[in-house]
Each structure stands twice: as C-alpha cells, then as structure tokens.
C-alpha cells in the first residue's frame, strides 16, 4: 500500500506569500514537491531533504539561520536565495552549511538548475560568480587539509597519498602515480586512516575533494 511522502523541499521566507509563491513555482515547473514555511522550525525541517531559504540583507542573521538548520538537519541540502552577491558573504554561507546560492535577480529556470545541481551534491552557483570566490574556497580547503595533516602527524608520503585519495583514485592508480607497489600504497592508506581516526577512505576523499561548480551549459542552435 502506498504511503504519503513528505514534500522534497521546504521553502522558508519571512513573508508567507513569498514562501508560497516560491514553493508553487518549484512544484509546477519541476518534478519536486515544495512546502511553504515562514519559520525555521527544526522539528518540521527534519523531514525534508532540501531547504530553500530566502534571506535578506542581514548577513549575520541569515548565517545564524543557516547554521542552525545545518546543525539540526545535517542530512538536508541547504540552498540560499536572495542575499547580496559578494565573495565574502557567499564564502561564509558555504562555511555555514549552504550547498547552493541563487541570486535575487536569477530567473526561475536558473533557480531550478541550481536546486537540481545542489541535489546532486554539487556546490551550485550561477556562472557569473567571480573566479576569486572559488579560489578563496579552494584556499580555505587547502588550509584545512594542511592543518589536519599537521595535527595528525602525517608524513610527506602520507600527505601525497591523502591528496590522491581526494581524487578518488584506487590503490592501483595511486601506486602507478607514485611508482610504488600496490601493497605499499595499501599500507600508506591504512596509516592515513588510522592517524586521521576514520575507517573509510571515502570519508577522506569527501573531506578534501575539490569544490564542484555549477556552470550553465551553452545553448546549441
């Protein structure tokens, strides 16, 4: 017997009519069901796989909402709509837990494309966001990875292996890159996981993998 499934997306906005308009547009123009909400009720949001949050010009207040949702609903994908576009603000949103950003002047189709990209696990932004933004994100990630390496006592070779794990390479592929035996790589991977305190190599790969950027495909005539 079929059971009722909750809507895939919760749409949060300060004004009810805005939340309802966004939720209706998403539901009509995509295969996704959306529900309008006007308050970030954590108990309710736990049932959604994605939360679209319309924010205002108050960056700190918006970050507080994003961080609160990310902390209490770790499995939900968060997409932010409407914040003033700047490198600093988008970086802070990404650090706070947002997986996508839709500028206030985006079209409906652009918003839906970004939502779909975020659902695939990509950090989704419109194509015209500056290259400096992504350079900054990459720099922050490199700094985090370096701090992890230093704190965990990884050797130079183990850091190399960790970097190749971030590329989702197999032991055989890593062995080929480093010109060593597959058995040697297996030992290195074991030590990396032990020092980092994780059991699965996929955890390492996800932690240091590069940011995936949504880019709009060119239109073909």
Domain count across the chain: 2
Q: Are the CB atoms for 16 and 38 separated by under 8 Å? A: yes
Q: Are the CB atoms for 195 and 152 separated by under 8 Å? A: yes
Q: What is the CATH number of the domain that holds 74?
A: 3.40.50.2300
142 and 181 co-located in one domain: yes
- pLDDT of amino acid 20: 92
Asked which of 129, 151, 171 is the last residue of a domain, the reply is 129
Would you write out the chain's pLDDT as a tens digit for each of its 221 residues?
344 565 689 998 888 898 999 999 999 998 889 999 887 677 788 888 899 998 876 778 888 888 888 888 888 888 988 866 666 777 777 778 888 888 888 889 988 988 888 888 777 766 555 454 556 666 666 666 556 555 567 788 888 888 888 788 899 999 998 999 999 999 999 888 888 777 778 777 666 554 433 334 444 44
- pLDDT of amino acid 181: 92
Q: What is the pLDDT of residues 125-162, one digit of tens each?
A: 665 554 545 566 666 666 665 565 555 677 888 888 88
CA distance 88 to 77: 21
Containing structural domain, residue 73: 9-129
Q: Which residues contact 96 (CB under 8 A, 6 or more apart)?
A: 63, 66, 67, 70
Structural domain includes residue 120:
yes
- pLDDT of amino acid 210: 46
Instruction: Estimate to the nearest angstrom the gap between the alpha carbon of 192 and the chain centroid.
Output: 25
Structural domain includes residue 82:
yes
Q: Which residues contact 125 (CB under 8 A, 6 or more apart)?
A: 90, 100, 101, 114, 133, 213, 214
Asked which of 97, 129, 161 is the last residue of a domain, the reply is 129
**Residue 59 token pair:** 């960056």
158 and 54 co-located in one domain: no
Asked which of 129, 164, 199 is the last residue of a domain, the reply is 129
Q: What is the CATH number of the domain that holds 183?
A: 1.10.10.10
């Amino acid at each position: 017997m079929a059971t009722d499934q909750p809507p895939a997306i919760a749409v949060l906005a300060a004004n009810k009519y805005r939340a309802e308009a966004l939720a209706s547009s998403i539901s009509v123009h995509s295969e996704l069901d959306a529900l309008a909400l006007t308050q970030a009720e954590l108990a309710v949001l736990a049932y959604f796989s994605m939360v679209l949050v319309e924010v205002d010009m108050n960056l700190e207040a918006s970050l507080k909402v994003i961080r609160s949702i990310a902390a209490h609903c770790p499995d939900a994908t968060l997409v932010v709509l409407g914040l003033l576009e700047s490198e600093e603000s988008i970086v802070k949103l990404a650090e706070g837990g947002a997986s996508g950003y839709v500028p206030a002047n985006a079209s409906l189709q652009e918003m839906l494309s970004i939502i779909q990209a975020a659902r695939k696990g990509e950090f989704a932004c419109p194509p015209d966001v500056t290259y400096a933004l992504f350079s900054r994100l990459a720099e922050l990630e490199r700094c985090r990875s370096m701090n992890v390496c230093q704190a965990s006592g990884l050797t130079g070779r183990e850091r190399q292996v960790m970097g190749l794990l971030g590329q989702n390479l197999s032991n055989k592929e890593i062995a080929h890159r480093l010109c060593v035996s597959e058995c040697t790589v297996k030992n290195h991977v074991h030590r990396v996981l032990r020092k980092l305190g994780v059991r699965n190599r996929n955890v390492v790969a996800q932690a240091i993998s590069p940011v995936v950027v949504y880019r709009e495909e060119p239109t073909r005539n």
